[in-house]
Amino acid sequence: MEIVVIGGGFAGINLCKELANHKDIKVTLVDKNNYNFFPPLIYQVATAFLEPSSISYPFRKFFAGKKNLQFRFGELQSVVPAENKIVLNNGELHYDILVFATGAETNYFGMENVKKNAIPMKTLNDAIEMRNTLLKNIEKAAICKDIRERRKLLTIVVAGGGPTGVEVSGMFAEMRKSILVKEYPELSTTASNVYLVDGGDALLSPMSEKSQKDTLEALTKLGVVIKLHTRVADYDNDTVFFGNGETIQTKNLIWAAGVSAKQFDGIPQESYGRAKRMLVDQYNKVNGTENIYAIGDTCLQTSDEGFPEGHPQVAQVAIQQGKNLARNFKNTLKSHPLKPFKYNDKGSMAIIGKNKAVVDIPKPKIHLNGVIAWLAWLFIHLISLISYRNRLQTFYNWMVAYFSKDQSLRMIIRPEKK
């Protein structure tokens, strides 16, 4: 059985891990990057508290010694189901089974100016670009004589009140209080704000009311200006326009407000559902296809009794779907019954700042906040990193940041464009 997997995120890499060294299965992972990375921590790369290498790991190094796994560097162009092949930007591959694990991409909801001018927060490249942009703007502010222009360079607007928006807002608020005052004395008299805006009536809307309340209070104490029931309508000429008529002057709009899946040539249009997610059955097979599957953020599965509207686009869903699909492929070879996917919700969490986090555990129903929740967040994220090297490197950086209240990674590094 030859399986081709498109995408090496949480879903794809866990599928490959479960199938490693199986003598009757050959797996080829295709990805446009040559590394796996850990999305929940990209905001720490963006804020210069972690290096990119702390949360990423090369696929080829991970696959070394696993005889039935191989990596193909390339980007999918189209699928030809009738011939069981895919067309990449650098060649073709044939398959017996094709698995989409392509995740999601930033959704700008049709706002072209926002797409062109805002700073996205989805990929490792986005994080590096964000770090460079913000550091450059701070350096510009340090020598800027125009007070209004300086304020725009230092003001940060974060759109989206989910975990990413909350975590990056808290990080910026703490940096403003400690690092900016210490390293940029020339900016000590300049007023600047961190705004967190969301169109809903609460931050962290999927989490419990206690977590929402704790998060609102903690961010407010850190000095973050929270604006709920506020949707971004446009971003042009250094001005964020909101649907209610309000505006904020800034050169830093960070976009964490939504995602959508990707569509691919060759997959029938009727196989797509809400937010471009592929509609799949209880075994993650794409509707209207014979041997094509989708797992993780890119799929929409409504057969799970506990989630009739589809699963949340979170890491645990992707991990569990990848593992379940791998077991079903093994069962197919043994002529054993297939196991329908059922999501085991282990809870959700978000970090707000130093010693501040919120955790919701559904069974038994437990809510944690403060230092205990913060330690739980650190532990879960450390053990979820793909390699021991990543874990040790990240743990070291966190300890340095915790005890020094600082980090020494704020370098503006760009490849020279030729």
Please report the pLDDT score of residue 399 as a whole number: 85
Alpha helices in 156-268 (DSSP H): 163-177, 179-183, 209-222
pLDDT tens profile 355-364: 899 999 988 8
Cβ neighbours, 10 Å, residue 20 = 16
Position 208 confidence tier, pLDDT thresholds 50, 70, 90:
very high
Please report the pLDDT score of residue 298 as a whole number: 97
DSSP label at 339? -
Q: Residue 410 pLDDT more than 80?
A: no
Q: What is the mean pLDDT of residues 188-205?
A: 89
Q: Residue 405 pLDDT more than 60?
A: yes
Query: How far apart are the two ends of the chain, measured CA to CA in Å?
Result: 45
Q: Let me know if the fold of 2-32+74-104+261-333 is the same as that of 112-259+348-404.
A: yes
What distance in Å separates the CA atoms of residue 234 and residue 211, rounded to the nearest whole number?
30
Quick check: 187 and 142 in contact, CB under 8 A?
A: yes
Quick check: 278 and 101 in contact, CB under 8 A?
A: no
Position 338 confidence tier, pLDDT thresholds 50, 70, 90:
very high
Please report the pLDDT score of residue 287 as a whole number: 96
Which residues, in sequence order, are CB contacts of 28 under 8 Å at separation 6+?
A: 2, 3, 4, 5, 70, 71, 72, 93, 95
Which of 102-106, 171-175, 216-220, 243-247 is the least confident region? 171-175
Quick check: 106 and 255 in contact, CB under 8 A?
A: yes
Which residues, in sequence order, are CB contacts of 217 under 8 Å at separation 6+?
A: none
DSSP label at 398? H
Please report the pLDDT score of residue 417 as a whole number: 60
| β-strands 26-31, 2-6 pairing | parallel
Q: What is the mean pLDDT of residues 291-320?
A: 95
Q: What is the mean pLDDT of residues 319-328?
A: 98
Q: Which residue has the tokens 């944690």?
A: 368
Which residues, in sequence order, are CB contacts of 167 under 8 Å at separation 6+?
A: 43, 350, 351, 352
What distance in Å separates the CA atoms of residue 94 and residue 376, rounded to the nearest whole number?
44
Please report the pLDDT score of residue 408 as a whole number: 62
What distance in Å separates the CA atoms of residue 87 and residue 18, rounded to the nearest whole number?
26
How far, CA to CA in Å, does 135 sit from each of 121, 254, 314? Answer: 16, 14, 30
Q: What is the mean pLDDT of residues 189-208?
A: 90
Q: Which CATH architecture has domain 112-259+348-404?
A: 3-Layer(bba) Sandwich (3.50)
pLDDT tens profile 2-17: 999 999 999 999 999 9
Position 47 confidence tier, pLDDT thresholds 50, 70, 90:
confident
Q: Residue 407 pLDDT more than 70?
A: no
Can you give the residue ranges of every domain in the chain? 2-32+74-104+261-333, 112-259+348-404
Secondary structure percentages of the chain, helix, strand, coil, to 5: 40, 25, 35
| Enclosing H/E stretch for 225 | strand 224-227
pLDDT tens profile 69-128: 999 999 999 999 999 999 999 999 999 999 999 999 999 999 999 999 999 989 999 999
**Who has greater pLDDT, 35 or 403?**
35
Quick one: what percent of the chain has pLDDT higher than 70?
Answer: 97
SS3 state at 267? coil
Among 79, 100, 122, 76, which Cα is nearest to 279's?
Answer: 100
Position 406 confidence tier, pLDDT thresholds 50, 70, 90:
low
Which residues, in sequence order, are CB contacts of 337 under 8 Å at separation 6+?
A: 331
Q: Residue 418 pLDDT more than 60?
A: no
Which residues, in sequence order, are CB contacts of 30 under 8 Å at separation 6+?
A: 4, 5, 6, 7, 71, 72, 74, 76, 86, 88, 93
Q: What is the mean pLDDT of the chain?
A: 92
Please report the pLDDT score of residue 412 as a whole number: 74
Q: What CATH code is assigned to 2-32+74-104+261-333? A: 3.50.50.60
pLDDT tens profile 137-159: 999 999 999 999 999 999 999 99
219 Ramachandran zone, left/alpha/beta (phi>0; psi -120 to 50)? alpha
Please report the pLDDT score of residue 409 as a whole number: 65
Please report the pLDDT score of residue 96 as a whole number: 97
CA atoms within 13 A on the CB side of 66: 22
* pTM of the shown model: 0.91
